[in-house]
Amino acid sequence: MSTKRNQDEDTKSVKKPASHWAMGLLSSMKDPELFIKEDDTVVIIKDKYPKAKYHFLVLPKENISSLVKVTKEHLQLLKHMDKLGQETAESYPNSVFKLGYHAQPSMSRLHLHVISDDFSSACLKTKKHWNTFTTDFFLSSSKVISEVEMQGKVTPVTNDKVKKLMDTPLKCHKCSFLAKNMPTLKTHILVHLKKLI
């Protein structure tokens, strides 16, 4: 009886561990429900948890974990990602888009955000979500390309600066309105969205 228990325990112990959530982009790249298009070097997908009406990710097929690993050798890739991001945004002419990278991304695998600036999404829930797209934590694609052209790399944002950016008061990205909390901010944003209709 104890032998069977030991065998069962051995069987349980060799089960594959679940993938870490930070590696989720690798599986998302293969998800047909998220897939938009691909070519020889990149894949474009819908963000699984979109923070706006339109939110896409442009990811290289090359295994580049983050901006910190980018060198001048990747310059053409960055420009290509930007070009495809712009083309994707142009498919939605009634929306304004931002293209950029998070200074300290939570997900492993370099990815360019192509996001409409309506920020109309049930997945946009927290102050952190908001500040990652509306402060200097969001590094524009053009700025990243310029920095790599001039310096051969992207200067990492310090942890202290990241903390300050995440602690930035909730402020409307269209006007000077300061919100006490996310529900108030999201209600306010609707005012700007109605002006576009």
Domain definitions of the chain by residue range? 22-196
**Going by DSSP bridges, is the β-strand pair 138-140/112-116 parallel, antiparallel, or unpaired?**
unpaired
Burial 94-114, CB ≥16 within 10 A → b, else e: eeebbbbbbbbbebbbbbbbb
Q: Are 55 and 48 in contact (CB under 8 A)?
A: no
Q: For position 17, what pLDDT does the model report?
A: 43
- pLDDT at residue 162 above 90? yes
- How is domain 22-196 classified at the architecture level of CATH? 2-Layer Sandwich (3.30)
For the residues 30-51, what does the mean pLDDT come to?
96
Q: For position 133, what pLDDT does the model report?
A: 98
Q: For position 135, what pLDDT does the model report?
A: 98
Return the higher-pLDDT residue of 10 and 88: 88
- In Å, what is the CA distance from 177 to each residue of 164, 169, 173, 181? 19, 10, 9, 12
Computed over every residue of the chain, the mean pLDDT equals 90
Q: For position 26, what pLDDT does the model report?
A: 81
- pLDDT at residue 10 above 50? no
- pLDDT at residue 197 above 80? no
Indicate the pLDDT class of residue 193, thresholds 50, 70 and 90.
confident
Q: Are 113 and 99 in contact (CB under 8 A)?
A: yes
Q: For position 137, what pLDDT does the model report?
A: 98
Q: Tell me whether residue 188 is exposed, middle or buried, using C-beta atoms within 10 angstroms of its C-beta: 0 to 12, 13 to 18, 19 or more.
A: middle
**What span, in angstroms and rounded, lies between the C-alpha atoms of 72 and 81?**
15
Q: From the candidates 102, 111, 129, 188, give the one annotated as an active-site residue.
A: 111
Residue 29 carries which side chain, given as an amino acid letter?
Answer: M
Give the pLDDT confidence of 81-119 residue by residue, as tens digits.
999 999 999 999 999 999 999 999 988 899 999 999 999
Give the pLDDT confidence of 43-85 residue by residue, as tens digits.
999 999 999 999 999 999 999 999 999 999 999 999 999 999 9
Who's near 86: CB < 8 A, 6+ residues apart?
A: 99
Tell which residue, 44, 112, 103, 40, has the closest CA to residue 78.
112
Q: For position 20, what pLDDT does the model report?
A: 60
Active site residue 192: no
